[in-house]
Structure 1
């Protein structure tokens, strides 16, 4: 079967309420079914899929004002790889092996699956304005996410 797409001109030439209403409904539905973390001024909702994350941000009154789709490749940076190298003693054996063999893509894949299946839980630290994702079952391991939603380090 042919894979369908929609030409951008439909959205640009004639914005209409039908499209706006449906996009609004989709965002609200995604927001409701998401994993949410509260900051001092916003609520950040995370939805994880096989190859990307959808991040939806609302104010405390419940108004969605921003959303971003991010590929895992951009969320799991090389600085995270360097940080993992520095904390090898905390990592599962197969991660150590993958890192030694320069196969960070395998770590990225497993990390994204952990997000996708909710094996990581987030908290937000007001002092440094960072998210800290705790790896369930490994109480002393946190993956730090900066305010652009990129995982940049592992901390203990």
Structure 2
């Protein structure tokens, strides 16, 4: 197992030693306890919480060089509901009902809980630089995430 380090670039804006030490430890802990997917030149670590995701990127050599927090509102945009609507036949029955009643917020909540509890597994396609998240309980549901970590559509 690689010994993780954190790139100095992350601390250039805030060189305070106390902050550096604590952010370093937090990032390493979060990275070690995350769901990781390997791309051609990096390892992307996903940490899902109740209302946001923390995405940490490291080189294959183990240097963390980027992290960002994303709210589910931006990761699961309203445009995803159009794709869900188009692929209704692949969805669980309760999702169909929620979408009929324009309750995308309930779909988003269940989706975020699925991420939070590791009910989705990711793979990375280098050809189109896209992540594909397969729902473990529903074999016919796969969500496509672009390289800016936004879920775009359901792939059947």
**Fold shared by both chains (TM-score > 0.5):** yes
- Structure 2 match to 1:154: 154
Q: What secondary structure, in the 3-state scheme, does the structure 2 residue paired with 1:154 have?
A: strand
| 2:61 counterpart of 1:65 | no
Secondary structure at 2:43 match in 1: strand
The alignment status of 1:85 with 2:85, answered yes or no, reads: yes
CA RMSD of aligned residues (A): 1.7
Which 5+ residue runs of structure 1 have no aligned equivalent? 1-10
* Deviation per residue, 1:111-142 (Å, 9 max, x gap): 00000010000000011110000000222221
CA 96–14 in structure 1, closer or farther in 2 if over 3 Å, else same: closer
Three-state SS of the structure 1 residue aligned to 2:18 is: helix
Match of 1:126 in 2: 126
Distance of aligned partners of 1:24 and 1:14 in 2 relative to their CA distance in 1, 3 Å threshold: closer
Asked which structure has the greater CA Rg, the reply is 1
Q: CA deviation at 1:14?
A: 7.6
Matched residues in 2 for 1:125 and 1:77: separation?
Answer: 22
Alignment of 1:25-40 (within 5 A): 25-40=25-40
Q: Residue in 1 aligned with 2:109?
A: 109
1:75 counterpart residue number: 75
Count, aligned residues: 146
Distance 2:126 2:14 in 1: 42
Alignment deviations for residues 45-97 of structure 1 (CA, whole Å, 9 cap, x no partner):
00000000000000111000100100111100122110000000111111001
Query: How many Å separate the matches in 1 of 2:48 and 2:137?
Result: 20
Shift in Å, 1:26: 0.4
List alignment gaps of at least 5 residues for structure 2: 1-10
What TM-score, normalized to structure 1? 0.89
